[in-house]
Chain A
Amino acid sequence: MNVESLFENVLKTLNESLDVASRLIEKKDGKIGMIFLKSMTDNLLFSKAVFEPLSKLDSIEFEKVKQCIEPNDVELVGKDEIVEKIINGAVIVVTSKSEQFLAVDLLKFATRVPSEPPTSPVLMGPREGFVEDLKTNLTLLRRRFRSQSLVLEQASVGKITKTQVVIAYLDGVADKNVVKKIRKKLEKADIDGVVDSYYLVSFLSDRPRSILKQVGCSEKPDIVAAKMLEGRVAVIVDNSPIVLTVPFVFFEDIQNSNDYYTNYAFSTFMRVIRVFAFVMAVLGPGVYIALQLFHYNILPIKYLITIADSTQQIPFTPFIEILFISLLFQILYEVSLRLPSYLGMATSIVGALILGDTGVKAGLISPPSVIVVAIAKIALYTIPEQSAQITIAQFVFLMLGSSLGLLGVVGGAIYMITYANSLENFGAPYLAPFSPFVLSDNKDALLKVPLANMNKRPLSLNNKNVYRCNDDEK
């Protein structure tokens, strides 16, 4: 075989990328060639485990070459697989005497060490989070399931990126129909590239245009493992630290990993607080404006006087005032996300303290409005996973409250809940276990009973095996 011309062809196929490297070792009886991507392989290991041993060989016989590098992950591949293997971090070894090709897996790239994810810190409990490397993520998951139940299925999505996607579930627990449906949805995903797991969310959602979140996501292996134990299926995407889980129900986001590592009564209390905060975040500004504009006579007289005193000098209508403060907050939020943390802090101080205080003193905004918006915005982050949806809902209810009063707010709430009820994600009702009401699932919904009493998996997920431990009770 002409090694040089083969390498030339490979180089052409890879568009003469600058990270393509090749090495030739000339021997008495011919040549040994190696081609790989410098950016995807472990260069040190290549030198020590492939190049050096091959240099010391006195012959280019294929079997000897193979034996020489066999301690590594070696595979015999066909000519048409060469490019794919190189892209995936393999070194292709060929000899001028043989028509066979050896792929040595030396994939290595810079990756983060598992650390506590910034999105879900815990007081107690595991602090490690998923990283961008698929292999590491699978290890993190496998460590939690040291039994044959864990099934990992591979798929590839993205016409150009060919991103590796792993479907993970527990055999005998997860509903196989859900796995089948995910497989089909991934096969049908018509997309050029998947650069993060979020790219797959709309393909996995039953109603992609809905503003409601339909796929669960987590950065923590312990959360994903717990969800899988409940019968959910995880979708792990290469290059993404966020693992997706389906089926998803709304009350998953009311739960928090802290709930499982602390006293159950306290967890219940905190869940009630979260629901209260959710309602305040969604309805707070809308109800306040409805009361101020349409139902002011129901307010206690002292409070009414306070509001009247503080708002009488304001040049804007209450709606414009609240809208202005809310938009200002969103701008600050956007700025603090994009700027480096030290600048973000400064901007927050300028925005929240100086602008807010000066706005009130200048008579542009009233203190009650600032307080209402601030409470609503703080409450929003008790359920950070739902912050996008809550923010949109806040503005919708603000408009409904200002135009129709409580009639609009109540109507909007009924509309929203009806819409949420019409969603069924992979067969699980979106607002389960409250509507439809499933008694046994309520052991871990708003209430949380001690783990020892949670002997059943959520019935609303259509699990294959309802009982967590005792199979005889089935």
Chain B
Amino acid sequence: MRNNSVSAWQVGILLFVLLLTNKILMLPSLLYEDAKLEVWIVLLVLFAFEMGLIVLFWRLKVKYPNQTFMSLMQAFFGKWVTKIFFVLVMLFCLGKALLLYNVTYIFFKSVIYKDANNLLYLIAFFPVVVHLAVSGLRVVGRTMQMFFPALVVTILFCIGVGLLGAGETPLAFQSTGLALTRSVFRHISAFGDSIFLFLIMDKVKIEKGKWKVVFLFSTFSLVLVGAICMVFVFSYSYTSFMHPFALFEIMSYVKEYGGLGRIDIVAIVLIIALTYFQLALYLRMFVLSFDNVFVGLRVFYSVATFVFLFVMLVTFVILNVSKTILFGEKVLPYFAVLPFALLPVVVLVLLFGRRVKEGEP
């Protein structure tokens, strides 16, 4: 595996994809169930959490420009605490990958491939996802850089088309504070992907003054998530909870243009591309964490472990709509303790604790 460095632009694009993908399909509809028209409040809170993680990473990277997160943790907390931490990260990545795959699977099954089975999806996804993940960070960064303009144009197109079908729903307060808090907790697991930055800390090479690129891309990504959510809610209003696939639904609201046929295919292609990238990044995160737990093992073992666990869980445990939603809303939120409680504490200790020298065990 080639582990080369990535530039500020590439980090920004990686973050853009990470922060966007798993929030544009099922999340808006689920958010509406609790938060009603106050979805934007929940989103603002969750965005603040996500941006907070990126700020923490920025401060840590400025303090320790060349060190790995693992070496810093080992120096402060010892070998075993570090290993346990990275095992949790592995589980977090696996859980998020499972949720994303299941959501996409359900989407494809209900929209395109009605007769296809899980095996076909696994065959379609895994060769590409594994290839992307093992090609090295720089290669993945470059590939996403290549696709980035197309992704942005397509998303903006979807939002634009969605706006044509959006109604004039007022921003009335229909939800209670408790419901909003519950919504934040239920869906916090859709966030926290910025943990990826900590795993690639030593490979991130950002020159002075280029940090704004990273913040710009992450903010842009979250703004797009917010825009998709709001366009979706404005389009379907009180029936939003009945339409599970937000990005697709806002496109299918306006079906034909200039005799060109249904343009919801644009959303389908976008979702396919983003899912490939996101799954590859989760696998990459798993591989990086695996390397920190089982030091010195070949990449084959980490990929094989991920694929084995993934296939087993997908095949035998959670492959239908109700189980997927249950998994996403009841199980995964506890995983969010890792990026939003455990990780900030660790980073704060590293930031305000004594300075660790390079090479210090």
Contacts and interface: CB of A to CB of B under 8 A. Distances in A.
B247 to A, nearest CB: 15
Contact of A422 (B10, B120, B135, B272): B135
B340 to A, nearest CB: 31
A418 B264 contact: no
Interface in A381-423: 404-408, 410-412, 414-415, 417-419, 421-422
A421 B135 CA distance: 9
B145 A417 contact: no
B146 A295 contact: no
Contact of A414 (B9, B128, B261, B268): B128
Contacts of B277: 414
Given A417-B143, A419-B131, A300 B261 contact: yes
Interface residues of A, number: 29
B67 interface: no
A435 B142 contact: yes
A421 B276 contact: no
Interface residues of B, number: 38
A302 B260 CA distance: 10
B262 A298 contact: yes
B259 A437 contact: no
A431 interface: yes
Of the listed residues A294, A295, A407, A421, the one surrounded by the most CB atoms of chain B closer than 10 A to its CB is: A407
A415 B146 contact: no
A437 B146 CA distance: 8
Nearest to A299: B261
B171 interface: no
A407 to B, nearest CB: 5
A303 interface: yes
B120 A294 contact: no
A408 B142 contact: no
B132 A414 contact: yes
A298 B120 contact: no
A418 B135 contact: yes
Contact of A418 (B2, B7, B10, B139): B139
B358 interface: no
A186 to B, nearest CB: 27
B180 to A, nearest CB: 37
A221 interface: no
A303 B258 CA distance: 13
B272 A410 contact: yes
A297 B273 contact: no
Nearest to B6: A436
A458 interface: no
B261 A415 contact: no
B140 interface: yes
Contacts of A417: 143, 146-147
A294 B277 CA distance: 23
B327 interface: no
A408 B132 contact: no
B108 interface: yes
A298 B113 contact: no
Given A411-B124, A411-B125, A435-B145, A294 B112 contact: yes
Given A300-B256, A422-B139, A437-B9, A405 B145 contact: no
A429 interface: yes
Nearest to A431: B146
Contacts of B124: 404, 407-408, 411
Contacts of A410: 269, 272-273, 276
Contacts of A333: none
B101 to A, nearest CB: 13
Contacts of A316: none
A434 interface: yes
A384 to B, nearest CB: 24
Contacts of B108: 407
B136 interface: yes
B269 A421 contact: no
Interface string A419-454: 101100000010100111100000000000000000
B127 interface: yes
A236 B277 CA distance: 42
Contacts of B7: 436
A302 B145 CA distance: 38
By Cβ-Cβ distance, the 10 closest A-B pairs, closest first, are: A435-B146, A435-B142, A300-B261, A411-B128, A298-B262, A421-B142, A298-B265, A410-B272, A435-B145, A418-B143
Given A414-B143, A415-B132, 9 more contacts: A298-B264, A300-B261, A404-B123, A407-B124, A410-B269, A411-B127, A414-B273, A435-B142, A436-B142
30 contacts: A294-B113, A295-B112, A295-B265, A297-B262, A298-B265, A299-B261, A300-B260, A303-B261, A404-B120, A404-B124, A405-B112, A406-B112, A406-B268, A407-B108, A410-B269, A411-B272, A414-B147, A414-B273, A415-B127, A417-B147, A418-B135, A418-B143, A421-B143, A422-B135, A431-B146, A434-B146, A435-B143, A435-B146, A436-B7, A436-B142
